[in-house]
Homo-oligomer: A and B are copies of this chain.
Amino acid sequence: MSPTHEPRWLTPEELRAWLRLQAVVELLPATLDAQLGRDSGLTHYEYLLLAMLSETPGRTLRMSQLASATNATLPRLSHVVKRLEARGLVTRHPCTDDRRATLARLTDAGWDTVVASAPGHVETVRRHVMDVLTPAQVEQLSTIAAAVGRSLDPEGRLYALTGD
């Protein structure tokens, strides 16, 4: 921090927007985790991981790619994949091209889990987000989240932002 630099405070409108955003950021993961945990025994992050693999040709991705795709750090991903492997939802294979790399592949059981979990998860997203917004607001949200996401991830390696 530069100590002599006077910070620009937030305007009342900005402060209100910030407090509301903060509430969403705090409550949304808790809500998703609760629904997925109750109905499918999955964490929100675990679901996201499996879903990303399920949408990839070959259902296989390098750890580093999977980390980017799920907005996570490599250490975190490593632990989660290890747990999912122990549960038989994912397998790990060494990569022949680059022997440092590890490939994570979705098993049939993992696929079945995603397929079984998706409807309930989508329904939750719909109820708490999409259904309370107008189509115009969904577009606004998309634009706003893209802008904020870019500033949070300057390297722009996020899968989720594909389509800019």
Contacts and interface: CB of A to CB of B under 8 A. Distances in A.
Interface residues of A, number: 73
A153 B140 CA distance: 22
A133 interface: yes
B138 A14 contact: yes
Contacts of A109: none
Given A23-B158, A141-B144, A125 B10 contact: yes
A29 interface: yes
Given A1-B39, A148-B28, A10 B122 contact: yes
Contacts of A140: 137, 140-141, 144
A9 B122 contact: yes
A131 B11 CA distance: 12
A1 B50 CA distance: 12
A8 B115 CA distance: 14
B153 A144 contact: no
